[in-house]
Structure 1
Amino acid sequence: MIRAVLAVLVLLSGPAAVLAQSTQQTRAQSGLGVLLRGLDKVNGETVDVEIPWGGTLDVFGLSVTAEDCRYPAENPTGDAFALLGIKDRVSGEDVFHGWMVASSPALNALDHNRYDVWVLRCMIS
């Protein structure tokens, strides 16, 4: 009985140890800015823009502020995630503030009737 309990404890601690080790190895670094793609849903026009960290740029009818962009340290072209603030220039209303993930743009997406913006990657040089 004691051997069975010990065997179960060893099996359960194995995945936790591997998870803890992989978490320690994955580190994120901040980029110099973010590369975004904007879409005007009415006419189908797209534009790619680079916004430096802390900068604000107009993308169609939106004013986009890049607050931070992070990426995996061991894979700079990997899964970027950016902290963005987006304001509608016409109404002056804040339409988005939060983290967007490059590999999952629908996870936390901008909800605007005409425009769409998503993260492509961080600027690293």
Structure 2
Amino acid sequence: MRLLAALLLALPLPAMAQTYADADAGVLRWLDKLTGETADIELVLGQEAQSGRLTIRLDACRYPADNPASDAEAHLTITDRGVEKPVFDGWMVASSPALSALDHPRYDVWVLRCVTPALPAPVDGPATSEGDGQ
């Protein structure tokens, strides 16, 4: 019986799935490779921004619930003026922009972060007055 229990404990356990929280907004970076111009764009869900010939829409933004400052994922729909179908329609991951990247000869767009609830300010120790001789 002990041998069976030891064998069961030695078996690898399935990885815990990471839970994500949805954000109401996200921050993206846009680059015009021809001119070198860049801009950071903050969008709320469903909002569109015009950058050069591109129209960028943020469809969703999520982040790890246990670590809001960690890796963000955003679903974007990007269209190019004069092109019928979207030039990008999918998820981008902030830490791995090349994993699912916009394939455009002139522009790059990538996710920086989701806009998350403000984290509480750190609590400092007791204040000491300057010049009190200590």
**What is the TM-score normalised by the length of structure 2?**
0.78
- Residue equivalent to 2:71: 79
Q: What letter matches 1:39 in structure 2?
A: L
3-state SS of paired residue (1:91): coil
1:44 counterpart = 2:41: no
Largest Rg, 1 or 2:
2
- Post-superposition Cα deviations, 1:5-51, rounded to whole Å, max 9, x if no partner, equal 76444311xx315x23xx2xx32111111100001011111110011
d(CA) in 1 for partners of 2:68, 2:60: 15
d(CA) in 1 for partners of 2:28, 2:52: 12
Greater than 2 Å deviation, 4+ residue runs:
5-10, 90-93
3-state SS of paired residue (2:59): strand
- Residue equivalent to 2:9: 10
**What is the TM-score normalised by the length of structure 1?**
0.83
Q: Which runs of 5+ in 2 are unaligned?
A: 118-134
RMSD: 1.9
Aligned ranges for residues 77-116 of structure 1 at < 5 Å? 77-116=69-108
Q: What letter matches 1:16 in structure 2?
A: L
- Residue equivalent to 1:64: 56
d(CA) in 1 for partners of 2:84, 2:116: 31
- Residue equivalent to 1:117: 109
Normalized per residue, the structure richer in helix is 1
Normalized per residue, the structure richer in strand is 1
d(CA) in 2 for partners of 1:31, 1:11: 39
- Residue equivalent to 2:129: none
d(CA) in 2 for partners of 1:53, 1:27: 20
Count residues with an aligned counterpart: 116
Q: What letter matches 1:40 in structure 2?
A: D
